Chain A
Amino acid sequence: MRTTFLTIMKVNLRNRIALFWLLLFPIILSTLFNGVFGNLEDGYKVKPVPMAVVADANWSKAVGAQSLVNALNGNGATGDTARNDEGRDEADTANDPADGRRLLTVTETDSTRKAMRLLADGTAKGYLSADGGGRLVLTLSREAASASRAGTGESESGISISALSTVVDMYNRTDAMTRQTLQDNPKATTSRQFWNAVGNSANMTRETTLTNFKPDAMARYYYALLGMACLMAMSYATNAVSMVQANLSALGIRRTVAPLGRAAQLLAGFLACWLCSFVALLIALVYIRYVCDVGIGGREPAAVLAVAAASFMASSAGTLLGAVPRLSADVKSALVSAISCTLSMFTGLYGGFAMQLSDWIARNAPVLGTINPAQQVVDLFYSLMYYDGYGPFIRTCVTLLVMSAVFLAVGMAVLRRQRYEHL
Chain B
Amino acid sequence: MVHGLVKRYGDLLALDYFDLDVHEGEIFGLLGPNGSGKTTAIGCILALLTYDAGTIRVFGQPMTPTNYALKRRIGIVPQNVAVFNELTVRENIDYFCSLYVPRRAEREPLVEEAIDFVGLGEFRDYRPGKLSGGLLRRLNIACGIAHKPDLIFFDEPTVAVDPQSRNAILEGIQRLNGNGSTVIYTSHYMEEVEQICDRILIMDHGRHLALGTADELKNMIDAGERISAETLDLTEETIERLRALPFVIEAAYDGRELDMRCRRGEHNLVDLLAVLRSANVNVGRLTSRPPTLNDVFLELTGKALRD
The chain A residues found within 8 Å of chain B, CB to CB, are: 3-4, 7, 10-11, 14-15, 243, 246, 249-251, 253-261, 417, 419-423
Contact (Cβ within 8 A) A420 B48? yes
Contact (Cβ within 8 A) A423 B39? yes
Q: Which of A243, A253, A419 has the most CB of B within 10 A?
A: A253
Known: A3-B102, A254-B144, A258-B71. A10 touches B86 (CB 8 A): yes
Contact (Cβ within 8 A) B71 A257? yes
Contact (Cβ within 8 A) B48 A250? no
Inter-chain residue pair count (beta carbon < 8 A): 86
Shortest CB-to-CB span from B100 to chain A, Å, is: 6
**Interface SS of chain A:** loop
Contact (Cβ within 8 A) A419 B48? yes
> Can you list 20 A-B contacts (CB < 8 A)?
A3-B95, A4-B99, A10-B87, A10-B91, A11-B87, A253-B78, A254-B82, A254-B96, A256-B65, A257-B48, A258-B71, A259-B100, A261-B68, A419-B50, A420-B50, A421-B9, A421-B49, A422-B9, A423-B40, A423-B43
Which chain B positions have C-beta within 8 A of A423?
Answer: 39-40, 43, 48-49
Q: A259-B71, A419-B49, A420-B50 are in contact. List 8 more A-B contacts (CB 8 A).
A: A3-B94, A10-B86, A14-B87, A253-B82, A254-B82, A257-B71, A258-B71, A423-B43
Residue of B nearest to A249 (CB): B82
Which chain B positions have C-beta within 8 A of A257?
Answer: 46-48, 71, 74, 76
> 8 tightest CB-CB pairs across the interface, nearest first?
A250-B82, A258-B99, A259-B68, A14-B86, A3-B98, A250-B80, A259-B71, A254-B82
Interface residue B209 (Cβ < 8 Å from any Cβ of A): no
Shortest CB-to-CB span from B31 to chain A, Å, is: 20
Q: Which of B9, B95, B100 has the most CB of A within 10 A?
A: B95
Shortest CB-to-CB span from B276 to chain A, Å, is: 53
Which chain B positions have C-beta within 8 A of A10?
Answer: 86-87, 91
Which chain A positions have C-beta within 8 A of B81?
Answer: 250
Which chain A positions have C-beta within 8 A of B80?
Answer: 250
Contact (Cβ within 8 A) A420 B49? yes
Interface residue B72 (Cβ < 8 Å from any Cβ of A): yes
Contact (Cβ within 8 A) A250 B79? yes
The chain B residues found within 8 Å of chain A, CB to CB, are: 9, 39-40, 43, 46-50, 65-66, 68-69, 71-72, 74, 76, 78-84, 86-87, 91, 94-96, 98-100, 102, 143-144
A11 to B81 CA separation, bound complex (whole angstroms): 17
Contact (Cβ within 8 A) A7 B87? yes
Contact (Cβ within 8 A) A251 B99? no
Shortest CB-to-CB span from B181 to chain A, Å, is: 16
A362 to B68 CA separation, bound complex (whole angstroms): 52
Which chain A positions have C-beta within 8 A of B79?
Answer: 250
A334 to B270 CA separation, bound complex (whole angstroms): 69
A243 to B86 CA separation, bound complex (whole angstroms): 13
Known: A259-B71, A261-B68. A251 touches B82 (CB 8 A): yes
Shortest CB-to-CB span from B230 to chain A, Å, is: 45
Residue of B nearest to A11 (CB): B86
Residue of A nearest to B81 (CB): A250
Residue of A nearest to B86 (CB): A14
A80 to B271 CA separation, bound complex (whole angstroms): 124
Contact (Cβ within 8 A) B65 A417? yes
Q: Which of A14, A15, A258 contacts B96 (CB 8 A)?
A: A258
Which chain A positions have C-beta within 8 A of B99?
Answer: 3-4, 255, 258-260
Shortest CB-to-CB span from A8 to chain B, Å, is: 9
A250 to B18 CA separation, bound complex (whole angstroms): 24
Which chain A positions have C-beta within 8 A of B71?
Answer: 257-259
A7 to B92 CA separation, bound complex (whole angstroms): 9
Known: A3-B102, A257-B46, A420-B50. A251 touches B84 (CB 8 A): yes
Which chain B positions have C-beta within 8 A of A14?
Answer: 86-87
Residue of A nearest to B71 (CB): A259
A422 to B43 CA separation, bound complex (whole angstroms): 9
Which chain B positions have C-beta within 8 A of A259?
Answer: 68-69, 71-72, 99-100
Shortest CB-to-CB span from A143 to chain B, Å, is: 57
Which chain A positions have C-beta within 8 A of B100?
Answer: 258-259
Which chain B positions have C-beta within 8 A of A4?
Answer: 95, 98-99
Contact (Cβ within 8 A) B78 A254? yes
Contact (Cβ within 8 A) A253 B76? yes
Residue of B nearest to A246 (CB): B48
Residue of A nearest to B10 (CB): A421
Q: Which of A3, A249, A254 contacts B76 (CB 8 A)?
A: A254
A422 to B40 CA separation, bound complex (whole angstroms): 9
